[in-house]
Structure 1
Amino acid sequence: MKNRGIFIKVFTYTIISILLLVGVTAALFSQQFMSFYRTAQARQIVASYQPLVERIQRNHNHDIAELARRFHENNQSYEFYIVDKDGGSIYATPNADTSDRFDGDFFYVVHNDKNFSIIAQNKTGLESFYRDLIVRAIAVFAIMLALCLICAFVFARQMTKPIKRLADSAERMTHLEEVPPPFERKDELGTLARDVYSMYVKLKDTITKLEKEILRERELEETQRYFFSAASHELKTPIAATSILLEGMLGNVGDYKDHPKYLRECMKMMDAQDKIISEILEIVNLSNGKIAPIPEKLDVRHTVFEILPDFQILTEANGQHIVTDIPDGQTSLSDPKMLQKALSNILLNAVQNTPKGGEIRIWSEPVAEQYRLCVLNTGAKIDDAVLPKLYDPFYRVDQARSRKSGRSGLGLTIVRKTLEAMNIDFTLENTSDGVLFWMNLPKA
């Protein structure tokens, strides 16, 4: 009922307007018709009695009664009477009313001169024409009324259809339901529909962004809670161990009397914690945007080869070897320090997870407007469900072995934060040859 309200109103107003217009037009035409009818009737009556007037005038006004009687015999449907100049009756048809109190429905003076007057008391020949004309007028009015109804219905439907569609769309918009684009119209309704739809799209995008922002804030809060919980756990254990060593040395308990030995152990643990704290601060600064990339034009091959010597001793100790295939001339627009920091952590992770005697492959290949730099540690395999978790702070696949090897569990976290700050796409995935990490460097 709500959707049909405007249609009923427009239809009603249109019908009333058209009927008023038709009524005024019919009234004006009816006046003209009555004037025309009276004129035609007068002419018809005068023409009907003209033969009688002519006969009387030819006989010089003699035998008027006889001439009138003969005329009536030939025209028995006529009712009239003739009076002289003094008002005396000369002749009257049998049904004519010659009284002074005439109350009939027709009285017309056909002829009037100084000698006689002819008064007609019925309509001659126009009654059937008048009735036929009335019937036709009623038929025309009925047809006009039907056309008015049809035109009003079509007009109201065409006028209200886009408004109803806009109202339905607006109602769906309030419930954030999907709404199709409006039909192309070049009038004010089309402009209104486009503006409402544009506002709806912008509002929906804003709501989507706000929802994503809220979700991101929640994820960030959850990540921060996890990060601080993990950091406190990582720092708590070595601090407790250091405290035990120091208490033993202070109390000269057993082997702890060898102060130089256990002081060196404390120094080692403090150095490890200092490294972890430095990495935590680096992650925090990257997350807060305090470390901003400064892009420079750099050679990809030269950048990789600059950091390879740092891993030579470690790879030789594990019997591993690094194979590179990076063509000359590949230049990228990136921050060299941040890129080398990320590459160092990736290579360290690859060396630590490649089996002894294994191979680490480094190569690059053009992809669209970028260079894809790949690092593959062969013979390694990580559960697909674990891969996304490797970026979490302090996450280790093998907790015991990782701690013994001195891994902090922050390497890939720093890699992710660094590459995200540089707007570089990257992925860690399993392949048939091993675990592959690739990043897309923008071409210079």
Structure 2
Amino acid sequence: MKHNFFGIFGKVFFYTVLILTIVIVAMFVFLSDQIKSAVETTQQLQIADAFQTFFVQIEGRTDEEAAELARQFHQKNTSFEFCLENSDKEVIFQTDHFKRSDIPSDLDSGNKIITKGTRLTQNRMNFFKAGGSDRFQFVTISAGGMRLYVTSSTSGAFIYHIFIWDAIAAFAIVFCASLIAAAVFARRITKPIKKIAGDTRKMSELQIVDEPRQRNDEIGQLAGDVYKMYRALQSTIEQLEYEIKREKEMEENQRFFFSAASHELKTPIAATSALLEGMLENVVRPEEYPKYIRECMRMTKEQSRLVSEILEMVKLSGGLIVQKQESTNLKETIESVIGAHKSIADARNIDLDMDIPGNIFCTYDTGLFAKALSNVVINAIDNTSDGKKVHLYVKRDGLKIRLYIFNEGETIPEEDLPRLFEPFFSRDKARSKTREHSGLGLAIVKKTLDLMEVPFFIENMENGVLFCMDLPY
């Protein structure tokens, strides 16, 4: 699959990073002003606290005493730059690095708290921005008219400089962490969605898709629903493929069936027609007419039987038969079938017997079952050597009765077993011509038992062939 960064992963990642960046920048802008204000206010409070005692000491002192006190204070607090003026605005003490700015003329000596603005006052200390610089200065007016000028040790630009670089470093760290967090978040969100997209692509290509992992959220529910839909569609496709295959097989079987039926009907019709034409053209002597007429009648009966069996196959294949299920004594049904074929078996000295308890009742359509069993018994007799045995018996198997029909004689080649139930299939062409076979007997058995939903199979034994069917109680 082609990777597209601006797919769902790229979009989730981009929007997450964008939101985090906006939040970080907003916090940076907000905190920059707050930090500067906090630093400046802290400096003002420190200056006010440091000079409060000195201010009290110089009140009422002479210029020389005030200058000496200022010198002593500077020796102890060298970090402060300040200037002291008397009431005549003459400088009586000034530190080496003090730079005096323009002092506002409307200084207020009142007792006010610090307020934000160009000028801040607290405890008779007037703070203002120094001209040409962003350092804060304050002026204190004593009761004797003395003025004390103090400059803050740190400028606003310096504060901003330090803050900017620290903020940039912090922003870079937070931004990198945000990128990693956004990538992890986007991956966790998009991975199952991409998995669903990949699975749906495989589904569209009819590829096998594994069952998704269980999740308890909406994505997991979506994946589960998609997989259920896939299983349903897969089952439908398999069913359609099976139906198409089955339909093709049925069409092929029908073509083969009608082709074989046409061939089977053509032979006796042609023979009958030849005999009748021979009699009409006086090829056959009149005294031989009865013999050939009886042969024509025999072939006509054979054609009639074949047509009846073809119609039976059509009914079974077309679902035109409505079953009448009833509980029937199995022994009585089998006795009636055996009785109909006893004379044929006796004529060939075949021992046709059964071992069926009289208390077994099975539920089936008696007519259909008798027809299928009759064809099986006929086929067993036809494939049993003279003087051998055909034996019918049952065994209980859970909720079913298994009926066995065993005939002594030659076994069937393994390659012929799957084809025994095909219409007109004969593994012994020579012998089939000497017996009254239509070639539809076992095909009718299969159609009938399939319609009755009775499982059956045929297998070779050591000295014969065994046919089995499972009958429901």
By the TM > 0.5 criterion, same fold? Answer: yes
TM-score by length of 1: 0.91
- The amino acid of 2:21's aligned partner reads L
Name the SS for the 1:386 alignment partner: helix
- Residue in structure 2 matched with residue 344 of structure 1 by the alignment: 374
- What is the alpha-carbon distance in structure 1 between the residues aligned to residue 353 and residue 453 of structure 2? 27
The one of 91, 96, 99 equivalent to 2:98 is: 96
* Count of matched residue pairs: 443
- State the partner residue of 2:11: 9
Measure the CA separation in 2 of the matches of 1:3 and 1:351.
76
1:108 maps to which residue?
Answer: 137
Instruction: Decide whether the 8 Å contact of 2:9 with 2:190 is kept in 1.
Output: yes
What does 1:119-158 correspond to in 2, within 5 Å? 119-123=149-153, 141-158=171-188
Conservation of the 8 A alpha-carbon contact between 1:46 and 1:110 = no
Structure 2 letter corresponding to 1:209? Q
1:359-438 to structure 2, matched below 5 A, reads 359-438=389-468
For 1:356 and 1:38, how far apart are their aligned partners in 2? 127
Q: What is the letter of the counterpart of residue 178 of structure 1? A: I
Q: How far 1:40 moved relative to its partner?
A: 1.0
Counterpart check, 1:43 vs 2:45 = yes
- The reply on whether 1:318 has 2:348 as its aligned counterpart is yes
Q: Distance in 1 between matches of 2:154 and 2:275?
A: 142
RMSD: 2.7
Secondary structure of residue in 2 paired with 1:260 = helix
Equivalent residue letter for 1:355: S
Which residue of the other structure, out of 51, 54, 57, is the alignment partner of 2:56? 54
Alignment of 1:153-164 (within 5 A): 153-164=183-194
The TM-score, its normalising length taken from structure 2, stands at: 0.86
Verify the 8 A CA contact 2:59 2:142 in the aligned structure 1.
no
SS at match of 2:462: coil
Q: Is the 8 A contact 1:248 1:256 kept in 2?
A: no
Q: Deviations over 1:261-288 (max 9, x none)?
A: 3222211111110010000001001100
Matched, 1:204 2:234: yes
* CA deviation vs aligned residue, 1:231-281 (integer Å, no higher than 9, x gap): 111111111111111111111123366333322221111111001000000
Larger deviation, residues 5-14 vs 122-131 = 122-131
What amino acid does structure 1 have at the position aligned with 2:381?
A: V
Q: CA deviation at 1:336?
A: 0.3
Query: What is the DSSP-based 3-state SS (H/G/I as helix, E as strand, rest coil) of the residue aligned with 2:405?
Result: strand
Offset at residue 295 of structure 1 (A): 1.0
3-state DSSP of counterpart to 1:258: helix
Distance in 2, Cα, partners of 1:3 & 1:200: 26
**How much has 1:388 moved relative to structure 2?**
1.8
Find the aligned partners of 2:88 and 2:363 in 1 and give their Cα distance: 130
Check whether the contact 2:323–2:365 (CA below 8 A) recurs between aligned residues: yes
Name the residue aligned to 1:234.
264
Q: 2:295 aligns with which of 259, 265, 269?
A: 265
* Alignment CA distance shift 1:413-1:256 (3 Å): farther
For residues 282-301 of structure 1, the C-alpha deviation after alignment (integer angstroms, 9 at most, x for no partner) is: 10011000112211101111
1:19 to 18, 21, 46: 21
- Compute the displacement of 1:334 (Å): 0.4
Tell me, yes or no, if structure 1 residue 165 matches structure 2 residue 195. yes
Identity of aligned residues (%): 42
